[in-house]
Structure 1
Amino acid sequence: MTPMTPAFATLIDLLAHNAEAHADRAAVIAGDDTHAHAVLYAAVQAQAAALAALGVRRGDRVLLLAGNRPEVLVLLGAAAWLGAMLVPLNLRLSSAEMTQQARDAAPVLAVVDADNAPFWQAAWPAGMPGAATVILATATTPSLVCAGPRDTAAVPRQDAPGLGALMLYTAAVDGHARGAVLAQSQLTASARQIAAVWSLGVDDRWLGVLPLFHAAGIGLSLALLGGGGACVLLPRFDPAAAVAAVDNHRVTVCATFAPMLGAMLDAAHAGGASLASLRICMGLESPDTIERLARLCPSAGFWSAYGQAEVSSMVCLGLQRERPGAVGRAVAPSQLRVQDAMGQPLATGLTGEIAVCGPTVFLGYWDAAAQRPFRPADPWHRTGDLGRLDADGWLWFTGRAAHKQLIKTGGENVYPAEVEQVLLEHPAVAEAFVFGTPDEHWGEAVHATCALKPGALVTEAELIGFVGQRLARYKRPQRVRFMPAPLERTARAATAAG
């Protein structure tokens, strides 16, 4: 049996353990800079004091708009130290989406890196009401303290296992995303599960090309830190830079979404790189790409996975070669079942909604009016995904439940309802139906069918541009078809027919 990594009740317990047990070993690598575990822990304490000086208190939210950099992990730890919550926003959001999520979170502080400062300032020319703003310098400081006064007197720990530490916006309802609130103990439990399955240790290093505003990115970072390993952070995905980082830093763990791994294999082949240090690759990739990986880098096993923000990252993992097509088995102690519409478990082999129970399930969705997460009474989280379990406990993903239609494109979630709502705002559109179609490059592509109002005229390009002005670019339909009303019958029939 694989030995479990130490159990930590809070993020601060995890960081404090590493600072003592692995003080001088690398924790975070970015560019030419390597920061040891002891340095990371000291930075978290100093940043917590600086945030307190800026007025951040227990239960407050700190908004973050920044790319992959060590300060993201420092800010998460600092917020946890104070019993506050970090709210990283997706950098690909439109101004309207970012503004809605910021209002919903009601932060006391917004931390924005220099690259995204114009975007933030355009949304809030006079500053966001109720929130101070700190602009991060482009360069990382040696102390890793990025927001607030340095050399501030230390403040006592106010962390606790059940306190929310991270809020990730997801699961759009009525056109607006909801914040999934994750407690400190849920984040550390997820890190421990993943580290145990992969036997992560002090020699492991993760290639941080997934954004840290996503559950997978932050979850894998914590899993590596939980095992005493290191995160090699890249500010953005560039295939050649990613391959160089793997070889230069002896990276052992790589997680990607299509088409990232294929681009890395192309770059490795062109540059004669072996990627020999890799032992774990994970993500959503085509069978052809997985076969290429096996040929070029036989030391690396490709792992399938299933997870979402509401369960703190991955709750199913499995070697793809052991059960091609499945998405893995439940990672203990998390439990997984397939259930019917009434919440009753279904027998092996039957298709139903995937439900998860265990220490990684979130506190609930953020209730802006009550200023706290709404905690469901049912301990089994309904994922909104459909699947079946085989006799060996492997999960087979089969689609989305009726109440949660979702398109997965390039690792990003697109909820048809929010795109449909924007299309319906156009004066020429009477009805809209948005759906996903298979795409070799991105996994799925966003397509739309629209019915126009009598006498109205609008082109496909105009509607695509209309959506692109209001939503993130990855949510724009790649194609728009026009059909007569009513769409409920005609559009779905045309979609089914291809």
Structure 2
Amino acid sequence: MTTSALPTLIDLLAHNASAHAERAAVIAGDHVHTHAALYEAVQQQAAALAALGVCGGDRIVLVAGNRTEVLVLLGAAAWLGAVLVPLNLRLSPAEMAQQARDATPALVLVDADCAALWQAAWPDGMPGVQTVWLGASAGASLTIAGPNKAEPVPRQDAPELAVLMLYTAAVQGHARGAVLAQSHLTSSAQQIGLVWSLGQDDRWLGVLPLFHAAGIGLSLALLAAGGASVLLPRFDPAAAVAAVDLHNVTVSATFAPMLGAMLDAAQASGATLASLRIGMGLEPPAVQERLRALCPQSAFWSAYGQAEVSSMVCLGLQSERPGAAGRALPPSQLRIQDAAGQPVATNVEGEIAVRGPTVFLGYWDVENQRPFKPADPWHRTGDLGRIDGDGWLWFAGRTAAKQLIKTGGENVYPAEVEQVLLEHPAVAEAFVFGQPDEKWGEAVHAVCALKPGAVASSDELTSFVAQRLARYKRPQSVRFRSAPLERVAVAAS
């Protein structure tokens, strides 16, 4: 049962349309969309989607950048009881095709600026699935016509209906879709807003992609507070700094190395970023210190979260506990448990588990066309950590089963890269691992053993991976060893 005061996205949007009607909800380029206009656009879009045959439970694949339409479509999906499936624009064509295929959509919507990406994945379009192209301009609603406004879903379980699916957690080389209900998203938005004391005057700098849990989660947190998102189509440090000053942005969240680049741009232009009061991310101490020096009025927050828990589930001021990931956002609960799923004592390291109103419905079961997860109410994150006596979480890496590399805010699963390397005719064994990186947080590296008599260079294998997976998944280096590879020794050397 949700504890959210606004259990559905439609509740949230309708409240804002009444309470904050003429205040900005989304700012994208020269377009300023009020809360009233956003709610109106959602209703029009829901009607247009219904006219195209979209029904409750249907998946809508979206290939688009940071546009107002992404939020409009999420609201329209909620209105119809459908599920929006935004795809990561940094995927390779093969990855994009696989995720779209697994989602079995009723409709595909493609940003005109992303046409080449989609056409590379599906040169002749998805068989039997209609594709609708979004216009090049970022307006308040799509340009597909519809009849009268759609009626809200007349079901008592509307808060618990799936509304968003984000692909994550690769298993056997393929990502899985984490399915989130409306109540998960609204609960997460209000938890974040309470901790940060967000209000109608707050504005978030939307440089994180809306196909990521952090990006969509922060947009909804600002909407839940009656505030606004300032969406940028792509990250450009100078443009980001200019947007902060122009729109009085108060909240900034970044993936390394974005904040450092913004501070460079601010110092070069003489910008003071005077409106900024909240910074958040996984930035090294030196970058945090630069932010404090340039923006003494701001505070930097650390966080812990993942798509499966609807964005952030921990936040904490770095000045209070440097190096910690924060404390659980109430009423969500965190605990550390052992391999058997039993809780461990304070300051004992184990697997991080989460319980509460933001935990997802489960991973998308492709065969049965529904989300599935174990009955245990504690979600096992696959991450390691410990909780100190004051309730602060200290992140300690990943479990052996997860083996995740976090580079520039993106997830890379070693098994996925290893599988591709093994497809090269010269490679007998492959081991992929992460190493600390000053710029990206972590970087992908690989060690390979070649087949007898085979020849391959590091550049050749790096290019081989880049042609099949997203470029951020390619190894920064490939070293060669004799078979059999000793995985632990390789990672340590």
TM range (shorter): over 0.9
- Mark the runs of 5 or more structure 1 residues left unpaired by the alignment: none
Q: Distance in 2 between matches of 1:244 and 1:339?
A: 45
Alignment match, 2:490: 494
Cα deviation for residue 57 of structure 1 reads 0.3
Alignment match, 1:57: 55
Alignment match, 2:239: 241
Q: Distance in 2 between matches of 1:223 and 1:458?
A: 49
Cα deviation, 1:340-380, whole Å, max 9, x if unaligned, reads 00000000010000000000000000011111101320000
Q: Distance in 2 between matches of 1:236 and 1:203?
A: 24
Q: Distance in 1 between matches of 2:119 and 2:270?
A: 44
SS at match of 1:299: coil
From 107, 113, 116, the equivalent of 1:115 is 113
Query: Which stretch of the first structure deviates more once superposed, 397-406 or 154-163?
Result: 154-163
From 439, 452, 470, the equivalent of 2:450 is 452
Q: Do the aligned partners of 1:49 and 1:153 also contact (CA within 8 Å) in 2?
A: yes
Q: Distance in 1 between matches of 2:116 and 2:409?
A: 26
Alignment match, 1:314: 312
Alignment match, 1:336: 334
* Paired amino acid for 1:219: G
Q: Do the aligned partners of 2:4 and 2:183 also contact (CA within 8 Å) in 1?
A: no
Q: Distance in 2 between matches of 1:9 and 1:96?
A: 37
* Paired amino acid for 1:238: D
From 151, 170, 177, the equivalent of 1:156 is 151
Q: Distance in 2 between matches of 1:397 and 1:477?
A: 24
From 33, 45, 63, the equivalent of 1:35 is 33
Cα deviation, 1:123-150, whole Å, max 9, x if unaligned, reads 2232202311011111123xx2215314
* Paired amino acid for 2:491: T
Alignment match, 1:398: 396
Cα deviation for residue 98 of structure 1 reads 0.3
Cα deviation for residue 232 of structure 1 reads 0.3
* Paired amino acid for 1:41: Y
Alignment match, 2:175: 177
Q: What TM-score, normalized to structure 2?
A: 0.98
1:230-309 correspondence to structure 2 within 5 Å: 230-309=228-307
Alignment match, 1:129: 127
* Paired amino acid for 1:56: V
Q: 1:393 to 1:114 in 2, by over 3 A?
A: same
Alignment match, 2:424: 426
Q: 1:147 to 1:434 in 2, by over 3 A?
A: farther
Cα deviation, 1:362-409, whole Å, max 9, x if unaligned, reads 000001111110132000000000000000000000010011000000
Cα deviation for residue 154 of structure 1 reads 1.5
Q: Distance in 2 between matches of 1:320 and 1:302?
A: 6
Alignment match, 1:384: 382
Cα deviation, 1:248-299, whole Å, max 9, x if unaligned, reads 0000000001110000001000101000101100001010000000000011
Cα deviation, 1:183-206, whole Å, max 9, x if unaligned, reads 000000000100000010000000
Q: Distance in 2 between matches of 1:198 and 1:130?
A: 46
* Paired amino acid for 1:295: A
Cα deviation for residue 115 of structure 1 reads 1.3
Q: Distance in 1 between matches of 2:283 and 2:320?
A: 16
Q: Do the aligned partners of 1:420 and 1:432 also contact (CA within 8 Å) in 2?
A: yes
Alignment match, 1:326: 324
RMSD over equivalenced CA pairs, Å: 1.0
Alignment match, 1:22: 20
From 478, 481, 487, the equivalent of 2:479 is 481
Q: Distance in 1 between matches of 2:123 and 2:281?
A: 39
Alignment match, 2:469: 471
Q: Distance in 1 between matches of 2:115 and 2:428?
A: 37
Cα deviation, 1:30-52, whole Å, max 9, x if unaligned, reads 11111000000000000000000
Q: Do the aligned partners of 1:111 and 1:147 also contact (CA within 8 Å) in 2?
A: no
* Paired amino acid for 1:345: P
Query: Which stretch of the first structure deviates more once superposed, 122-131 or 468-477?
Result: 122-131
* Paired amino acid for 1:191: A
Q: Distance in 1 between matches of 2:176 and 2:344?
A: 29
* Paired amino acid for 1:183: A
Alignment match, 1:212: 210
Cα deviation for residue 470 of structure 1 reads 0.3
Alignment match, 1:347: 345
Alignment match, 1:146: 142
Q: Do the aligned partners of 2:428 and 2:448 also contact (CA within 8 Å) in 1?
A: yes
Q: Distance in 2 between matches of 1:243 and 1:96?
A: 35
Q: Distance in 1 between matches of 2:7 and 2:374?
A: 22
Cα deviation for residue 119 of structure 1 reads 2.1
Q: Do the aligned partners of 1:48 and 1:81 also contact (CA within 8 Å) in 2?
A: yes
Cα deviation, 1:443-482, whole Å, max 9, x if unaligned, reads 1110000001111111111100000000000000000000
Paired residues in the alignment total 488
Q: Do the aligned partners of 1:54 and 1:148 also contact (CA within 8 Å) in 2?
A: no
From 67, 70, 73, the equivalent of 1:72 is 70
Q: What TM-score, normalized to structure 1?
A: 0.97
Q: Do the aligned partners of 2:206 and 2:219 also contact (CA within 8 Å) in 1?
A: yes
User: Percent identical across equivalent pairs?
Assistant: 75
SS at match of 2:446: strand
Alignment match, 1:13: 11
Q: Do the aligned partners of 1:51 and 1:147 also contact (CA within 8 Å) in 2?
A: no
Q: Distance in 2 between matches of 1:118 and 1:445?
A: 28
Q: Do the aligned partners of 1:243 and 1:267 also contact (CA within 8 Å) in 2?
A: yes
